[in-house]
Structure 1
């Protein structure tokens, strides 16, 4: 009997990668959903006997979707597929009723083994069929979606690394991807109040014919909480504690995020020396010290740079900070080529 399956993820790239990883001889009809509300509609209509569910999504995220499934007593077999691999995230989805948790990106072998373990797949049992996607993306939208999904997985790796060190749960957002002129960098940081005073560390990185800059930015209101969370010696001056916290978290977060990019892009990004960009300044003021900002003239007519903002939160300690990855115009063609290779390899493998 043909199984009805739904793949729920806000990223078109992620849905395609997952579909390509499904066994071609699986007797299943596959539908797509872009967020939790759509997934619930698929379940209610009988189109999601098996649901592959992302966590970080707009409208209704994965946690909220699992809660609604339980509240409505909907009949579906849920496999969570997420870039947020924190132990607390995995434990939480299991408590909410998910049958399995798998980190992104899933390989074809991993999917097949998982489905076989739960008795959902029999080799040569039929043929995989996809119901046509209702949403089509322009080339520009597809490019942005791809960047966002790559950043999503790297963000999850960094969040997991930091969560284990600090022994906290870190709330992860949907990455914000923009192409901006260097003089408009402040517009990339949508989560920071433009009137807030902030401190930041800059760290350059390079590899595979590409280079960029990573900025870790803390609002002043979060610095004291971070110093306490790190259990720094209270006998030290508060200013020294804040500086140590800023430099340590920036180095850890940047290194872990670059490792996540390296895993996906197969490019070994080597980080440079962390540099204190500034402390207790307004955002626009501070960003003027960025190395990429310095390359821009007053009337910058060059192609835009790629800016990826990730806003991390530790809500239990009222701590919020941003990681901003910046790729200059000359790095984008090499980045696009590498992403194209990944998508092509994924298609062949799946």
Structure 2
């Protein structure tokens, strides 16, 4: 390494130090006193940076509230009592660092905090897995009624493309007598899933399987298979907001129309479904693409309070006909 390069690094470090000295007197570290001040600053910073919100939080305000409360180790559902609390200097440094990570690096909030939530369920996440977000979460709160009449009768269920293991864990709670097989092609993802499964004490009820689709899944007949597979079209992959570029691409895109894996799953599923079994697949905004790709199928499109026609449902007979 050249002396000139060493000097450049030294000069840059001096500049960085001077910047912080300046901030100590005139910047946010000095001028932002209360949590209310920091919340206003964070929202403005995120808006001006053009941050994108598609990982469970709705807008700059929601993301700022979550990041600030988490960083300060405050209850995530109690903002009001703390709005006018004064923030000590060391905590201001932490807040500024988190805000800048979100605004400058365009890191999704979940990768900054190392956690994501689906309803009341918390999951550990990092860049080895996509951030949990699925319309299945709402449906599983009700035991997937009315399509599953009695959740207690489900004995064997599958979460295909489990990622962090979040849906497998929700299934274990929704179907109290079921064993869950959670499948993913990525060993990194399965390592994250294993930690989450252990955190919920479900090692005896959830089996993790490394497999490309059904290829390495032992032959079994499942009462219920759900999948939130990669389904982003190539055009959308080419134009993803920066936040999504931190996620593993293999968990997002699946061919030109986003349905390459869906095709394989529907082809193989009849070999794994029980006689009266069901399979449900989440495809986001791709209903038109699904109907164009599978004109012979007549799936039931499911709706939740949050969205319509993002998940389709088929029974074993439909797949065989």
TM-score, scaled relative to structure 1: 0.26
Q: Which of the pair has the greater relative contact order for Cα pairs under 8 Å at 6+ separation?
A: 1
Larger radius of gyration: 2
TM-score, scaled relative to structure 2: 0.28
